Amino acid sequence: MGLKEVFSRTVFSWFSGASTPVKHISLRALLPNTDHFMTYEGSTTHPGCWETTVWIILNKPIYITKHELYQLRKLMQGSEEAPKAPLGNNARPIQPLHQRTIRTNINFKNVPAVIK
């Protein structure tokens, strides 16, 4: 089951703490088919922003439809009885690199001309 099937078959629980069982989901089907990525050590995106996270960035995007984006933007913090705010638009500003090492298995010298 890929992302489209998750959106089409799932009735979302819009609030924190609620859950909806999803059967037979393949994480591999949710991600692009690629062996190439970059990683770096960074921080969590929520307060206290602890420097305890290894981020993995795939070299291919995940595409979603406008409707799927709309569904994700309806997710809420809090509970149905006490909604707080939309879950989205909570990104931190870009942070300084602080001598972080970015690791990759992408050979940039051998990238097809279409990607350059």
Q: Tens digit of pLDDT for each residue in 98-112?
A: 888 999 998 888 766
Residue 31 in any domain: the answer is: yes
Q: How many domains does the chain have?
A: 1
Residue 113 in any domain: the answer is: no
**pLDDT band at residue 10, thresholds of 50, 70 and 90?**
low
Using the predicted structure, report yes or no on whether residue 114 has a pLDDT greater than 60.
Answer: no
Report d(CA 10, CA 35) in Å as an integer: 29
Residue 18 in any domain: the answer is: yes
User: What angle (nearest 5°) sits at the alpha carbon of residue 65, between those of residues 63 and 66?
Assistant: 130
The model's pTM is: 0.64
Residue 110 in any domain: the answer is: no
Residue 66 in any domain: the answer is: yes
For residue 67, the enclosing domain spans: 3-89+96-105
Residue 116 in any domain: the answer is: no
